[in-house]
Structure 1
Amino acid sequence: MAGTLNDPILHYVFDPLCGWCYAAAPLVQAARAVPGLTIALHGGGMMTGPNRRTITPQWRDYVMPHDRRIAQLTGQPFGEAYFDGLLRDTTAVMDSEPPTAAILAAEALWGRGLDLLQRLQRAHYVEGRRIADAAVLRKLATDIGLDGPAFAAAVDAHAGEPTREHFAASRALLARMGGGGFPSFALARGDGRLERIDASPWLGRPEAWQQHLAQAARQAA
């Protein structure tokens, strides 16, 4: 999400398959409405390489209490197609790399990375879609109005080593921020310092978060 050279920047380290990033989605949406604030997306690669996984009954049992807690805390919806469809599909693969490459492509071409992330989260948690599948990603991109062939070409250009380099840079930024995982937010100040912002007290309170960010952005500008 582009801004002017002197705009304060909210760095957001996320993963499209991270439940607590879905919990923070209303906060991200609220942050987009803060005047003069630029949001920089950094995919962390939570489920890549050896951390890729297929759905198992054990995984379903692990994530469901977290998902129920997220729904209770934030009001974020979870669909039957997710709980009783995707989370019971033992052939489905959880892989953060393809959806992150798609988000990078949408951001590079159209500045629409946040829009695609939001669509991917809904597709995963409400519609129970396999967001690591190329055909699903292309359909979701066209859902938000992106050109299908141009999107597919951009994803191909970002896939593989460019996305893995992005993950490495995001992890380095996360270490600089002092972040402990996903989601992590930090505000870049004019002197180059990064001020980490703990979003956990604001979950379910997007209006208050927006006011807090607006004040922090004014001080950082």
Structure 2
Amino acid sequence: MTATPVLHYIYDPLCGWCYGAKPLIDAARDILPVVAHGGGMMAGAHRRAVSAQLRDYVMPHDQRIAQCTGQPFGEGYFEGLLRDTTAVFDSAPPTTAVLVAEQLAGRGLELLGRLQTAHYAEGRRIADKDVLLAVATEMGLDVDAFRAAYAAMSGDVTQAHFKASRALLSRVAGQGFPTVVLEQSGQYQVIDLGPYLGKPEAFAAWLRQCAGVTGTDTIVSAPACGLDGCQ
């Protein structure tokens, strides 16, 4: 239990609406502690190989996200990655990388943001270990330490993290990704990001003036990805 407000961010690195909310999370990090919880949206049985069908399905959603949030989606993504049928969308490897960056340097959310940009703007394959190592190196993380920690935290550790994140999501009655929860004095309030999408300054102002938590019955209208894929 904490009297200091903490923002819990339940996300997935392959969730387009999480990418859309990235400026809000960046703004929040300047105001209060933000704890990331990866939900494993496209892990295990829900990982997907890129196909023409997948491209046709996700493109309209991504275009809507861009329109609603102003976040950039690059040609490397639309015309590169989404046409690369050798690529696989798998949430587990990038989530492991975020856990590693947090463990090594307290920079998990920073790595997440870089991976989101790498995926949606640059069209890089963030489920590939070599790409994860390259992004970690670009951030200045020690590549040997990163590689060793990544091996240790893959598999069971990441799966346990997914399980804990899903448990938190259930506890706060969250419906998908992203779910953002303000915790204070043992109470949890799910924040509706809908009014703030594309407006990080307004979100920051709201967080600064937020004096406390009133309950967990907030009605959330913001668009989100489902537990096992973007809808």
Same fold (TM over 0.5): yes
State how 1:1-221 maps to structure 2 within 5 Å: 6-34=3-31, 37-190=32-185, 192-216=186-210, 218-219=211-212
Distance in structure 2 (CA, Å) of the matches to 1:209 and 1:53: 33
Deviates more, 1:164-173 or 1:141-150: 141-150
Output the CA distance in 1 between the equivalents of 2:28 and 2:34: 8
Q: Aligned partners of 1:138, 1:12: CA distance in 2, in Å?
A: 24
Name the aligned partner's letter for residue 201 of structure 2: E
Offset at 1:106? Answer: 0.3
Q: Aligned-pair distance for 1:7?
A: 2.5
Q: Output the CA distance in 1 between the equivalents of 2:70 and 2:55.
A: 20
Q: Give the TM-score normalised by the residue count of structure 2.
A: 0.89
Q: Name the CA distance, whole Å, in 2 between partners of 1:20 and 1:150.
A: 31
TM-score, scaled relative to structure 1: 0.93
Question: What's the CA shift for 1:219?
Answer: 2.4
Distance 1:165 1:214 in 2: 33
Name the SS for the 2:152 alignment partner: helix
Any conservation in 1 of the 2:181–2:188 contact (CA below 8 Å)? yes
Q: What stretches of structure 1 of length at least 5 have no aligned partner?
A: none
Q: What RMSD over aligned residues (CA atoms) do the two structures have, in Å?
A: 1.0
Deviations 1:71-100 (A, max 9, x none): 111111111110001000111000000000
AA aligned to 2:208 is: A
Q: Secondary structure at the match of 2:95?
A: helix
> Structure 1 residue 109: deviation in Å?
1.2
- AA matched with 2:195: P
Q: In 2, Cα distance between the equivalents of 1:155 and 1:11?
A: 23
**Other structure's SS at 1:188 match:** strand
State how far apart, in whole Å, the 2-side matches of 1:215 and 1:148 are: 40
Q: Provide the C-alpha distance between the structure 1 equivalents of 2:172 and 2:208, rounded to a whole number of angstroms.
A: 20
Query: Helix, strand or coil for the counterpart of 1:219?
Result: coil
Say whether the 8 Å CA contact 2:4–2:184 is kept in structure 1: no
3-state SS of 2:10 partner: strand
Shift of 1:69: 1.1
For each residue in 1:50-75, what CA deviation from the matched residue of structure 2 results, as whole angstroms up to 9, or x when unmatched? 10010111111111111111111111
The residue identity in structure 1 corresponding to 2:204 is Q
8 Å Cα contact 2:3-2:184 kept in structure 1: no
